[in-house]
């Protein structure tokens, strides 16, 4: 008899949470480095907003599915805009693997913050 081990889904809510929480201090560092006032403000809005949004996702998810395990962040990028692009993509894939509409809606809020931050960083100087 073959012993086939079931693999974990690649895009999980717990990994999304790790990636989102990791992005806050990265944004804060970028906020301190920029010479653009518009980017400074956009990054400030992002790192102020993302922890609470993330917390609401994982608390609701763990309320339904129990305490999760968390691994190290895996999304690495050369620029913060590139990081946000990868994060948005990861959020979309984790969202599609989720079957709870409330959590899906909360991820939409995160994606909205990510996309508006990307717009501001790319277009406002």
CA 70/CA 66 separation, integer angstroms: 13
Q: Give the pLDDT confidence of 33-77 residue by residue, as tens digits.
A: 999 999 999 999 999 999 999 999 999 999 999 999 999 999 989
What's the pLDDT tens digit per position in 74-110? 998 999 999 999 999 999 999 999 999 999 999 999 9
**The overall pTM is greater than 0.85:** yes
The runs of H, that is alpha helices, within the chain are: 13-33, 37-65, 80-96, 101-123
CB atoms within 10 A of CB 93: 15
Q: Which of 99, 92, 79, 98 is nearest to 34 (CA)?
A: 79
């Amino acid at each position: 008899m073959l012993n086939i081990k079931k693999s974990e889904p690649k895009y999980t809510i717990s990994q999304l949470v790790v990636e989102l929480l990791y992005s806050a201090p990265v944004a804060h560092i970028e906020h301190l480095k920029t010479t653009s006032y518009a980017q400074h403000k956009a990054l400030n809005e992002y790192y102020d907003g993302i922890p609470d949004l993330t917390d609401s996702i994982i608390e609701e998810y763990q309320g339904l599915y129990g305490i999760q395990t968390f691994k190290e962040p895996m999304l690495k990028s050369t620029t913060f805009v590139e990081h946000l692009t990868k994060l948005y993509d990861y959020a979309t894939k984790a969202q599609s693997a989720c079957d709870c509409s409330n959590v899906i809606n909360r991820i939409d809020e995160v994606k909205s913050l990510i996309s508006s931050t990307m717009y501001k960083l790319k277009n406002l100087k």
